[in-house]
Amino acid sequence: MDYVRSDRGSSEPRLPLALKILIAGGFGAGKTTLVSALSEVRPLQTEEVLTGAGVGTDDLSGVETKSTTTVAMDFGRITINEDLQVYLFGTPGQDRFWFLWDELAFGALGAVVLADTRRLADCFPSIDYFEQRGVPFVVGVNCFDGSRRFGIEAVRQALDIDPDVPVVLCDARDRQSAKLVLISLVEHVARQRGEPVPVA
């Protein structure tokens, strides 16, 4: 693998640093909506391929004849400056795609778990996943029109999460609201590493 770093003094193009933030939550919790609200480009889609033979085995002989399907992952991008980009990856919703999460979570800065108070239990698997992997996360309670408003403390209690984990109300359609969720995540990450909360 070629790990050559760019030489900032030469004519080589500068390589930005890209940070990954995962947007998780149950089906219909507003993951794609949040990515759309924040991304500077139309949310892009990439596909990961699932093969019946390829998972957990090195024996790939004849794999091209096996049934294969793909799962779409939405992602968006926020350019912070010319050296720094934030990539938002919406996680695949179905439980059987968990193995894709390991790749997404590798090296991720953290995650936003979107919760829909009408189906709060849908976000439990995401919370379990990030807790087990030690990935910092915040819970964004997506306030849909007509959804019952719960207090933040009621949601925190129902989710049984660590008191340090921020729970914030948001409207995933609204960029200003959505960006506050990301800011609370980055501040949470900074607190976890024991640094003072960055003041912009």
Partner 1 sequence: MRAEPPGAQHEWLDAAAGPVVRPYTLTGGRVRPAVDGFDLVAFVLAGAGADPSGQSGLQPEHRRLVELARRPVAVADLAADLDLAVGVVRVLLGDLLTRGLVSVHEPPAAGIPDNDILKAVVSGLRAL
Using alpha carbons, select from 135, 86, 142 the residue that is nearest to residue 111: 135
Angle subtended by helix axes 124-133 and 98-105, to nearest 10: 50
Instruction: Check residue 199 for interaction with partner 1 (CB under 8 A).
Output: yes
- Whole-angstrom Cα distance, residue 191 to residue 178? 20
Instruction: Check residue 57 for interaction with partner 1 (CB under 8 A).
Output: no
Q: Of 117-125, 145-153, 160-168, 188-196, which segment contacts partner 1 by CB under 8 A? A: 188-196
Of 75 and 129, the one with the shorter C-beta distance to partner 1 is 75
Of 80 and 152, the one with the shorter C-beta distance to partner 1 is 80
Member of 7, 64, 153, 164 binding partner 1 (CB under 8 A):
64
- Burial string for 39-66 (b: 16+ CB within 10 Å, else e) reads beeebeeeeeebeebeeeeeeeeeeeee
Of 53 and 154, the one with the shorter C-beta distance to partner 1 is 53
- Provide the 8-state DSSP code for 122: G
Q: Are 146 and 174 in contact (CB under 8 A)?
A: no
- Whole-angstrom Cα distance, residue 24 to residue 22? 6
Binders of partner 1 among residues 162 to 181 (CB under 8 A) are: 175-176, 179
Member of 23, 24, 38, 159 binding partner 1 (CB under 8 A):
38
The residues binding partner 1 (CB under 8 A) are 1-6, 12-20, 38, 44-52, 54, 60, 63-64, 67-72, 75, 77-78, 80-81, 84-87, 89, 93-94, 96, 103-104, 106-107, 109, 175-176, 179, 182-183, 186-187, 189-190, 192-193, 195-196, 198-200
